[in-house]
Amino acid sequence: MKIRPAPRCLRLAMALVTLAAGTAAHADDDSWWIHTGVGRVTFYDSSTLIAAGSVVPGAGAKASDNTALIFETGYRLTPQWSASATFGVPPVSVITGTGSAAPFGTMGEIKYGPLVLAAQYRFGEPGAVVRPYLGAGAVYYIVLESRDAAIQQLNVKNGWGSALQAGVEVPLSKRYALFLDVKKIFVKTTATGVLPAAGGVPVRAETTLNPLLVHLGVGVTF
């Protein structure tokens, strides 16, 4: 099992969020906002498994889907434009073998926490009954912990990617709103380890994760 300290970019993002909250306490224009709610992560992944330097025909891996508490905090640059950071309580995904690797069962587990930095454009005026929005940005896929199973010495790497975003806000009052947010994330990662069931041969998996994050909850402007 490998546990990693929080990456520098995550610590920086959290510092910026903390600074934003402190700045917001002195602001009087309600420019800061936060979306809090339950998020569902559905992976649309594909993998290539390489053992001892050769591709294993028909072998792959599948990451289990997750539900987690997700936060998105942002700042309104104008009535239409805003910038945000999305993070959440890190879930655990179980990695299982597929195809010719299916007999190995659970290959490992990872605790992860994608960080999404994005910009959004909101349609309509701030007082509108419904405000749809579109966004796009960068993603840093952060692996906080790798847990061994069929693959020992499992090491899953962090990775950069991109995200597209679409959502809608339904204001309940000046400060509160309901929201539905969907992010399509495009990211790749690499996992390495050894496979004792095959005589301790070194293995590597090149994986495209491409999860869909559906986030539903309450928004607060402050």
The tens digit of pLDDT for each residue in 176-198 reads: 999 999 999 999 999 999 999 88
Residue 108 lies in a domain: yes
Longest dimension (CA), the chain: 65
Q: What does the alpha-carbon distance between residue 107 and residue 99 come to, in Å, rounded to a whole number?
A: 13
Task: Determine the structural domain holding residue 107 and report its residue range.
Answer: 2-17+36-219
Residue 29 lies in a domain: no
How do beta strands 2-3 and 59-63 pair? unpaired
Contacts of 140 by beta carbon, 8 Å cutoff, 6+ apart: 7, 9, 10, 114, 115, 117, 158, 159, 160, 161
Cβ-in-10-Å burial (0-12, 13-18, 19+) of 83 comes to middle
Residue 22 lies in a domain: no
Looking at residue 22, its amino acid is G
Q: What does the alpha-carbon distance between residue 64 and residue 143 come to, in Å, rounded to a whole number?
A: 15
Residue with tokens 């990662």: 189
Residue 27 lies in a domain: no
- With a cut of 50, which residues of the chain have pLDDT below it? 6, 9, 16, 19-21, 23-28
C-beta of residue 112 within 8 angstroms of C-beta of residue 88: no
Name the DSSP letter for residue 28: S
Residue 23 lies in a domain: no
Residue 145 lies in a domain: yes
Tell me the per-residue pLDDT of 45-76, one tens digit each, with 9 for 90 and over.
999 999 999 999 999 999 999 999 999 999 99
Which stretch of DSSP H or E encloses residue 24? helix 8-24
Q: The domain that contains 135 carries what CATH number?
A: 2.40.160.20
Average pLDDT, the chain: 90
Radius of gyration of the chain (CA): 20
pLDDT of residue 26: 45
C-beta of residue 113 within 8 angstroms of C-beta of residue 39: no
* Number of separate domains in the chain: 1
C-beta of residue 206 within 8 angstroms of C-beta of residue 188: yes
pTM: 0.85
